[in-house]
Amino acid sequence: MSHTPHDLDPSHSPDLLDAVRTQCAAVAERAQWVAIRHERLVSCARDLASRPDLHPSIDPATHYLGHGDDTVAFFVTLDTINFGSGYFPLLRKRPGMSGYFTVASSLTDRFATHGPWSAKELAGLDAEVCAEVFGQRNAPPAVAELMALFARALRDLGALLASRYDGEFTALVAAADRSANRLVHVLAQMPLFRDVSVYGTRQVPFFKRAQLMAADLALALDGQGYGLFTDLDRLTIFADNLVPHVLWVDGVLRYDESLLKRINAGELIPAGSAEEVEIRACAVHAVELLVEESARLGRHASAHVLDYLLWTRGQGPAYKAIPRHRTRTTAY
């Protein structure tokens, strides 16, 4: 069962990034299905530190870069619908592209031809329009469900832009006042951005897509203007289903055998289940420990930079050949 507790008011948690770290560490300490193999942290940190370039980049062929305020609009729009990995095995993909790059490149084509949707246009989108834009007409029912969720997320964005930011994407980003933490607060006004799970009696925030938007804007705009965030190094990883998979393949995470059998069989792991929360939370905490180990090795690397390296590594055929957990959720 998926959980988005209505009693979690982000305005009552001024430092959401600290909350992500604290709660994920608490889950990792109590986890039953997933464990961090602490003996593997040093070798993994050494391997990551050996990389010659720790600077993330964005593929210009599949993202709408270099267009000023329209690039801001692009990444706000993209990260609003940057979910669906649990549906991606059924998604009609562009040749040679993953599900994510299919969505990103499709949106880039839309922006290149028509520019951004206005707030009014966003508020009126439906699943049929999304299916057309993302190349999913006459898709299986599960993909039609994803297109309906895309439409819902984009309508929420349009409504928020119209009601609070004069219809301007840049005004939404400016409301964060150059703080990634505050941008998470801003985005959490939209229901599908409230990426919070329940684990026992504990509320565990992840805010994967909200954090990712700050990192994407910073990369796309070279840390200038609407891409300037003074607390960017305080981001955690963007907890999804790929970075935990890479950490598992590399031996940093260990899964319970029964959970592993379910993943290998392609069984969907329910959103908000103890297993799914532990996978994400243990990945967050493991990378925090890798940040500490990297510092001991004399190489500064923030969690979101290590996320980029791990996510990029996960695009390789050796990682793609092994099943990873699939969850149908709007979180990732």
Would you please indicate which residues are annotated as catalytic (active-site) residues?
240
The H or E element containing residue 34 is: strand 34-36
Q: Return d(Cα 255, Cα 249) in angstroms, integer.
A: 10
Burial class (CB in 10 A: 0-12, 13-18, 19+), 58: middle
3-state secondary structure of 326: strand
The gap between the terminal CA atoms of the chain, to the nearest Å, is 15
- Give the whole-angstrom CA distance, residue 100 versus residue 89: 11
- Contacts of residue 54, defined as CB under 8 A and 6 or more positions apart, other chains included, come to 299, 301, 305, 309
β-strands 34-36, 196-199 pairing = unpaired
**What's the CA gap between 291 and 230, in Å, rounded?**
19
Say how many CA atoms lie within 13 Å of 331 toward its Cβ.
27
Length of the chain: 332
Helix (H, G, I), strand (E, B) or coil at 205: strand
Neighbours of 50 (CB within 10 A): 9
Triad 110, 111, 112: Cα angle to 5°: 90
Scored b (16 or more CB within 10 A) or e, 155-185 reads bbbbbbbbeebebebbebbeebebbbbbbbb
DSSP state of 315: T
Q: Checking DSSP bridges between strand 253-255 and strand 202-205, what pairing results, if any? A: unpaired
